[in-house]
């Protein structure tokens, strides 16, 4: 899958979790922006719904991005003001592109 740079018309943020301790020693989780990147929103296809058949929720969105190291299912994606959990990562062209399948984070 070749990326047409003109179609990378969405800005998304890759989020990484950090665990901090406050003065009382309580742990708090925060999601910090690790990278802002350009992406192309893709339509959901029937196979995305089938993959999620064993789960309570189905995919909400799919985004095509240029390949990046360090992105996995432990990251989140922010689109606008909404945070999404990454439920699937496909590499149609090894080390060239990635497709992130997302569902709204709870």
Instruction: Give counts: helices (H), strands (E), the chain.
Output: 1, 6
The pTM for the full model equals 0.81
Residue by residue, pLDDT tens for the chain (106 residues) are 678 889 999 999 999 999 998 888 899 999 999 999 999 999 886 555 555 555 555 668 999 999 999 999 999 999 999 999 999 999 988 889 999 999 999 8
C-alpha 85/C-alpha 88 separation (Å) is: 9
Tokens standing for 42?
């893709």
Topology annotation, domain 5-104 = Thrombin, subunit H (2.40.10)
According to the model, what pLDDT value does residue 52 have?
56
Q: Regarding beta strands 97-104 and 82-90, do their DSSP bridges make them parallel or antiparallel, or are they unpaired? A: antiparallel
According to the model, what pLDDT value does residue 72 have?
94
Domain parsing of the chain, residue ranges? 5-104
């Amino acid at each position: 899958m070749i990326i047409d740079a003109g179609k990378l018309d969405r800005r998304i943020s890759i989020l990484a979790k950090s665990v901090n301790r406050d003065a009382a020693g309580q742990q708090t989780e925060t999601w910090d922006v690790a990278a802002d990147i350009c992406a192309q929103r893709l339509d959901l296809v029937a196979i995305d719904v089938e993959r999620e058949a064993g789960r309570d929720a189905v995919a909400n969105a799919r985004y095509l991005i240029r390949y990046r190291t360090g992105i996995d299912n432990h990251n989140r994606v922010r689109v606008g003001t909404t945070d999404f959990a990454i439920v699937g990562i496909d590499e149609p062209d090894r080390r060239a592109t990635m497709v992130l399948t997302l569902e709204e984070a709870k």
